[in-house]
Structure 1
Amino acid sequence: MRNIVIFLFTLTFFGCLPKAPEYPYRSAADLKAEAQRISDNLEHYIKKWAKGEVPSKLPDSILPKGYDSERFKNIRLVKFEDIDPKDQWVSRMAHKINFKKLYGSFPDPHCTYLLAPIIYAPFGSFMKIEGDFPYCRFFSVQTSPPFDGAGYRYDKFAGNGEVAIVDSDIVPKANNSNPFKPNGNRLAKNRAYEVIYKMSLGNATELDPSHEPPYRGNGKLRHASAIQAQGPWGANKSEGHGRGPWDFGDVWIRYYGIDKDKFPDAGVELPKMYFELKTGEKFTVVADYEGFVQASEETMANRDIGNSDPAPYNGKDIGWDKQFGIFLQIASGASRALYKNSPSDKKYVRDLHKGITGRGADMPAPSSLEPHATGSNYHGYLTNGMSIKKGKIYVLTGKMPTFPDTRNGAKILKPAQCRYWSLTTYDAAFPFSKVKGLENTSIMDDEIILDDNRNYTLVYSRLEDRPKNATAENGITWIDYGNTATQAFTLRWVSVGPEWSFDKSPNELNLPWSKTTWSGSEFDKTIIGSNNQDGFLKEFHPLRHYMSKETFENIGTKLTKKRSVVWE
């Protein structure tokens, strides 16, 4: 991420665009052969360690050249019987927004994230994760994908998505039950599970059809890799970090919409994770994560910066953009901010993204799929940006899909049109903020006031600009926007098909890559990119309005009845 910030700073201030790397930078066959050599050397060392012939600390010759040695130190093997889950996971707990202490890395604060930032094991070994099903609305396990040599994962955040197992598909242990089954007992006492991944060489979709939309399937086994290639920017010091082309894998676990009486750990202990070689040796790999934790847990206060109306690229006619990659979205936003909107500008963004990550709508799966590194496979991420001048307010109106209302201890997980819906905003000037991806506001589905037809009105403003009629009694949800004028909005719409989805779910089948993201080769603004409800989402499309505090007070609550946009 640090190099991406430098890239954006250069792009924004000097208009200097780095050359898009050629794809592929190395042949997939060569990368697979080298990955196999790394795997063989690692396996040989583990077997010697298990016999007591070598120390537990992995020497530099065994570690992947390219990992972040400043954030991960003292990388070592641990025997199965000595595993402590607290040494395996870095946690970002769900939390309330606090303007004095905001977190970075683009979180949804309604989610508790568990990250194993290092997994390292040879091909053919099995990774097992054992834990208890959490008390929450949505739960998934995602692991870095099988190694195919065609897709890259630069610096852990830019590249192909993880291979996921969603809550409903996870197999409970004997004499236990899965509380995420449709209409299942959410409060079941015996709720232990086991998830198994095989470390594999090969194409993710060919190894397992569950790694294709809707990303569902038998939960007994998935395929992954704990050895990853970082692509050309891994070796390029002038534009990338230049540490080297290789990296560890990782595991993400998410608990969304945690039951209020189980907040914030979802009422469960950390799961235990371990590897097993074909020959029976059981182990895990841990490290000293202080550098990583320090960087990820740094906070900042809400920044009092800017005082402007929205720029044209965030203006009256702009709707929503679908996200198919974090780096792609960042590069697209920078290009739009420089008013580089021509077909050649968009092609440059596509080429840059493909060269760095190996991903693109024109690539074979999995590199053409919606899931991208560090993103949830079950989320439709819709984004746009906004600036609010002092004295003005921003209003969103639309219809909320149905969702299972669970956080007050509901016993049954009912099917619905979606599993979860939230809207979170971030400091949009993140290249110039000490903490990147700084959260500012967040609201989820059951916190939003709905009328009898499930329509909502969200009003964003500074505290002093709150309209006097923006109250719950008037059916309006008011959100304190804080003092950061320009913010990026991310709508997380979680679908678990078919039980928690419907014909308007914003997944990649309904909203294809080439047509619904700004840089797409066939981008069609009318699908979701316009600020009206004539496109695909119809009444579920959040309409954007911008006006003075006084105008809203004069309108009263009638805004919810209109399909037209009010914009000053």
Structure 2
Amino acid sequence: MAALLAAAALLGACGGASPDAADPTTDATDGPTANRPTAGEEEHPCAWPTRADETVNNIAYPDTAATYWGQSFSLAEGERLELAGSFPDARYASFITYRPTGGAVDVLTDRDIEPDDGSTNPFAGEGRDDGPHAYTVTVRPDRTDDASGNDLGADTTGIDPTGGDDVDGELVIDDDVAARVARDRIGSAGEDGVRGTILYRVYTPTDPDDRTGGAGLPAVTLVAADGTRTSVPGCPEPGENPAARALVEHYGPATDRAAPPAPIFVRPQGDSARLFPNPDNVYVATILEHEPGRIAVVRGRAPRFPDTAAGDEVGGDEQVRYWSMCTNEYRKPYPVTECAADDATALDADGWFTYVISTPEDRPGSATTENGVTWLDLGSTEVDVVLLLRHMLPDDDFPNSALELDPGQLATQVMGQYAPVGAYCTTAQFDAGDAACRPA
């Protein structure tokens, strides 16, 4: 138990992601390499130069049902960014600003974004009709009390990730990466401005082939203190961000905790400030250790969620907006292996899930969705595995969500039937229906 509670400190960063994005006319599902000017062309920043998911910038425990786009900025006094877009046809979307070291500053969740005049917000109980769903979000250096509901604050503090000696914990990156960081920033202030990153997240788009949810990416405009407006063209191919990877490698927690003797879930504790966290997500997690021929089995009751891909509207009687179970490598930069989203998880007649986590070679023949079982790939056997259950935006009236746990607290102490409970057994035992494979 002590080993598990100590390991929870590592897991405090779960669910972040790295920067990534494009403009409203760009297909964000295109290739992984950011499209840069050819030799001889003058280089200017483009909007949303970075994308993150399970294949591009796979860092900081991303969810495979989500895509993350990012834009760095350095704003002078009175300067601001305007993001003009449309609400996606998806389960969830948000904008979050971060300090240069990856700590969250401000969040604007889909349901809280005010639509433009004549438009509606489908996440705010207004339904998804055929009318316009436009919005405008503003990023300001300082979010004051009289700011509008669509204002996001930046921050004036943080460690510059573009260089400096590795003294007092500062991050050192090579000159090429530092030059790209400076080039990708939007704003006129250079090193002297309010610096940070904004991440735009979209979860579970209704059309899985369009990860922007049919809305494209928000158009970005830099507005000067005197009102001068400069449109920033969208990047043709949002892609890798070596600076974000270096930041996570440098500031992320150690990965030296021992796995517990059985899969026991806790709410993570510790500093999550430097792994691009999402304040709308709460987690419980455990660490798994691979042994040949052994599998992990996890059971629990599934909370209600709006199956938007099947036509449900958000804001109904759901207990959470979204939930998922993911396997992740327990090493920096914390890549995800596989996730099973709520709408892809098999449930029994009583609404309970059963997950089997193993290598493909050790997968039981009976671990199929037809048998009410969801199989997850353990991933690399060279390192331990972080098994993570997400609860997003739990309802205030849902007393058994991960949000109700204190950091470091066991899931079973508060979550009741909704707590994931795990056990180890062999492949043969599972196929034989052995009681050892049914977590108590």
Q: Is 1:222 the equivalent of 2:167?
A: no
Asked whether the equivalents of residues 474 and 557 of structure 1 are also in contact (C-alpha less than 8 Å), the reply is no
Asked whether the equivalents of residues 186 and 412 of structure 1 are also in contact (C-alpha less than 8 Å), the reply is no
Shift of 1:132: 0.7
Asked whether the equivalents of residues 140 and 151 of structure 2 are also in contact (C-alpha less than 8 Å), the reply is yes
Give, in whole Å, the separation in 2 of the partners of 1:473 and 1:220: 45
Secondary structure, counterpart of 1:464 in structure 2 = helix
Q: Is 1:314 the equivalent of 2:257?
A: no
Aligned position for 2:423: 545
5 Å-filtered alignment, 1:188-207, equals: 188-200=130-142, 207=144
Give, in whole Å, the separation in 1 of the partners of 2:244 and 2:161: 29
Asked whether the equivalents of residues 383 and 488 of structure 1 are also in contact (C-alpha less than 8 Å), the reply is yes
Give, in whole Å, the separation in 2 of the partners of 1:464 and 1:287: 44
Give, in whole Å, the separation in 1 of the partners of 2:113 and 2:276: 20
Q: Is 1:88 the equivalent of 2:54?
A: no
Distance 1:557 1:113, change over 3 A: farther
TM-score for both structures, normalised by structure 2:
0.72
5 Å-filtered alignment, 1:109-258, equals: 109-116=64-71, 118-144=72-98, 153=99, 156-157=101-102, 159=103, 161-182=104-125, 184-200=126-142, 207=144, 219-225=149-155, 227-230=156-159, 236-238=165-167, 239-242=169-172, 248-258=195-205
Distance 1:380 1:128, change over 3 A: same
TM-score for both structures, normalised by structure 1:
0.57
Shift of 1:156: 3.0
Aligned position for 1:458: 355
Give, in whole Å, the separation in 2 of the partners of 1:426 and 1:547: 20
Give, in whole Å, the separation in 2 of the partners of 1:177 and 1:194: 12
Aligned position for 1:493: 391
Which string of whole-angstrom CA distances, capped at 9 and with x for unpartnered residues, describes residues 437-462 of structure 1? 23211111111111232211100112
Q: Name the structure with the higher helix share.
A: 1
Matched length: 371
Aligned position for 1:380: 282
Q: Is 1:419 the equivalent of 2:321?
A: yes
Amino acid at match of 2:402: P
Asked whether the equivalents of residues 135 and 187 of structure 1 are also in contact (C-alpha less than 8 Å), the reply is no
Shift of 1:102: 9.3
Distance 1:321 1:410, change over 3 A: closer
Which string of whole-angstrom CA distances, capped at 9 and with x for unpartnered residues, describes residues 158-182 of structure 1? x3x1311110111111211111113
Identity of aligned residues (%): 24
Amino acid at match of 1:176: S
**Equivalent of 2:410 in 519, 522, 528:** 528
Aligned position for 1:399: 301
Amino acid at match of 1:196: T
Give, in whole Å, the separation in 1 of the partners of 2:229 and 2:162: 34
5 Å-filtered alignment, 1:352-371, equals: none
Distance 1:169 1:312, change over 3 A: closer
Distance 1:315 1:163, change over 3 A: same
Asked whether the equivalents of residues 405 and 446 of structure 1 are also in contact (C-alpha less than 8 Å), the reply is yes
Give, in whole Å, the separation in 2 of the partners of 1:253 and 1:373: 15
Aligned position for 1:267: 214
Give, in whole Å, the separation in 2 of the partners of 1:557 and 1:404: 33
Gaps of 5+ in 2: 1-41, 179-190, 246-255
Give, in whole Å, the separation in 2 of the partners of 1:449 and 1:290: 35
Amino acid at match of 1:92: R
Secondary structure, counterpart of 1:457 in structure 2 = strand
5 Å-filtered alignment, 1:32-47, equals: none
Asked whether the equivalents of residues 325 and 373 of structure 1 are also in contact (C-alpha less than 8 Å), the reply is no
Secondary structure, counterpart of 2:170 in structure 1 = coil
Aligned position for 2:6: none
Give, in whole Å, the separation in 2 of the partners of 1:495 and 1:234: 37
Shift of 1:419: 0.5
Secondary structure, counterpart of 1:162 in structure 2 = strand
Asked whether the equivalents of residues 219 and 234 of structure 2 are also in contact (C-alpha less than 8 Å), the reply is no
Bigger RCO (CA 8 Å, 6+ sep): 2
Give, in whole Å, the separation in 2 of the partners of 1:196 and 1:278: 14
Shift of 1:106: 2.7
CA-atom RMSD in angstroms: 3.8
**Equivalent of 2:399 in 503, 506, 529:** 503
Asked whether the equivalents of residues 302 and 352 of structure 2 are also in contact (C-alpha less than 8 Å), the reply is yes
Asked whether the equivalents of residues 154 and 195 of structure 2 are also in contact (C-alpha less than 8 Å), the reply is no
**Equivalent of 1:277 in 208, 219, 224:** 224
Shift of 1:400: 1.1
Asked whether the equivalents of residues 468 and 553 of structure 1 are also in contact (C-alpha less than 8 Å), the reply is yes
Give, in whole Å, the separation in 2 of the partners of 1:132 and 1:325: 34
Give, in whole Å, the separation in 2 of the partners of 1:176 and 1:295: 38
Distance 1:167 1:415, change over 3 A: farther
Gaps of 5+ in 1: 1-73, 78-86, 145-152, 211-217, 299-309, 328-371, 431-435, 518-526
Which is higher, the Rg of structure 1 or of structure 2? 1
Amino acid at match of 1:424: C
Amino acid at match of 1:240: E
Shift of 1:186: 2.8
